[in-house]
Amino acid sequence: MTEKPFIKTVERHFLERKGRNPHATTEFCWLLSGITLATKIIASQIQRAGLLEIVGETGKVNVQGEEVQKLDVIANDTLVRCLGYRGNIGLLVSEEDEEPHVIQDATAAGKYTVLFDPLDGSSNINANVNIGTIFSILQHDPNAGGDIMAHVLQPGSKQVAAGYVIYGSSTVLAYTAGYGVHMFTLDPSIGAFVLAQENVRMPTLGKTYSVNEANSRQFPSGVQKYLDWVKTEEAGYSSRYIGSLVADFHRTLMRGGVFLYPPTKKAPSGKLRLLYEANPLAFVAEQAGGMASDGQQRILDKKPKAMHERTPLIIGSRDEVDRVLYFMKG
């Protein structure tokens, strides 16, 4: 009889890094299990959203100035509840909330901060477009003491782990802890994220660009020149834009290319959130061989100044990001 392959979950996969990664402990896996539990609950709610009448707006506006969707609230509350009783978490920081959730003081017990965008792309819920959850994990700064914001406002290079979950035809989780990017698919028959692909590599090249071209007249001149060039017959590029960051990034990770969200005249500092969106996806991109920049510097080198700071983002295949930067400097 043929022996069935052993099922490898996110937590088991991470724990196998013990000895190579100082955070690969049973304690840290307990934290990761909070993220996987929350995203499984969110996935279930999304699949039944129309039946449960939880599609649509709440009538409220969040700290970002955006209309709050009913599923935004559910996703945010689910993550806070599932992570709030994990004993090694000190702070929970959500894109939806004005202030961090202080779970416990920055002690040896509560030594991690988890930041998250609970439901990225939620404005696309009614259109049944892929949406997702993005997360970032930081270790508390030993020099910050009781200064909560000092623990939160660390550059992306300090991330211990980061990743995202995309809710689509299947629910997929991708994460990195500094030793490559690994991908898991939710098997609904057993209720677990199962290893699907180890050491995912982003293609170095990819003749696909992703950007909201409706704003192109507000982009910097270098970006406009790049967009003029990619449309030439000689360049031979295709345009692919979904309008959901997780979905656009996931496609770029798997197939190569570049995703751009440049500054505009209306938003000169960019629109994507540095802590909850750009940093975690930049960490994933670099660990897969890709690149992420704000047009001036590496995303992971940026020192955040505010909890909800925004940033431009150019992310994707290394050669494609370099090409955009070349036009911007020209």
| CATH 3.40.50.10540, applies to 208-329 | no
pLDDT band at 5 (very low <50, low <70, confident <90, very high): low
Please give the helix or strand (H or E) that residue 68 lies within, else none. Answer: strand 67-69
CATH 3.40.190.80 in the chain, residues?
Answer: 208-329
CB neighbour list of residue 130: distance below 8 Å, 6 or more residues apart: 121, 124, 166, 167, 168, 242, 244, 246, 247, 250
Whether residue 213 is predicted with pLDDT greater than 70 in this model: the reply is yes
Helix and strand element counts for the chain (H, E): 9, 17
CB neighbour list of residue 121: distance below 8 Å, 6 or more residues apart: 129, 130, 131, 132, 243, 244, 245, 246, 247
The confidence score (pLDDT) of residue 24 equals 74
- If one compares 229 and 13, the residue with the highest pLDDT of the two is 229
Mean pLDDT score, 210-222: 95
Cβ proximity of 96 and 63 under 8 Å: yes
Distance CA 178, CA 181 (A): 8
Question: pLDDT for 135-187, tens place per residue?
Answer: 999 998 887 777 889 999 999 999 999 999 999 889 999 999 998 999 999 99
Tell me the fold of 10-197. Fructose-1,6-Bisphosphatase; Chain A, domain 1 (3.30.540)
Mean pLDDT across the chain, nearest whole number? 89
Mean pLDDT score, 223-237: 95
pLDDT band at 3 (very low <50, low <70, confident <90, very high): very low
pLDDT band at 252 (very low <50, low <70, confident <90, very high): very high
Mean pLDDT score, 264-275: 94
* Closest C-alpha to 325, from 310, 311, 313: 313
Mean pLDDT score, 40-54: 76
Mean pLDDT score, 20-42: 88
The confidence score (pLDDT) of residue 62 equals 60
Q: HSE (CB half, 13 Å, CA atoms) of 315?
A: 29
CATH 3.30.540.10 in the chain, residues?
Answer: 10-197
The confidence score (pLDDT) of residue 1 equals 44
Give the pair of three-digit tokens for residue 283: 């960490």
Whether residue 86 is predicted with pLDDT greater than 90 in this model: the reply is no
The confidence score (pLDDT) of residue 201 equals 98
pLDDT band at 63 (very low <50, low <70, confident <90, very high): low
The confidence score (pLDDT) of residue 230 equals 96
Distance CA 55, CA 274 (A): 27
Whether residue 120 is predicted with pLDDT greater than 80 in this model: the reply is yes
Whether residue 287 is predicted with pLDDT greater than 80 in this model: the reply is yes
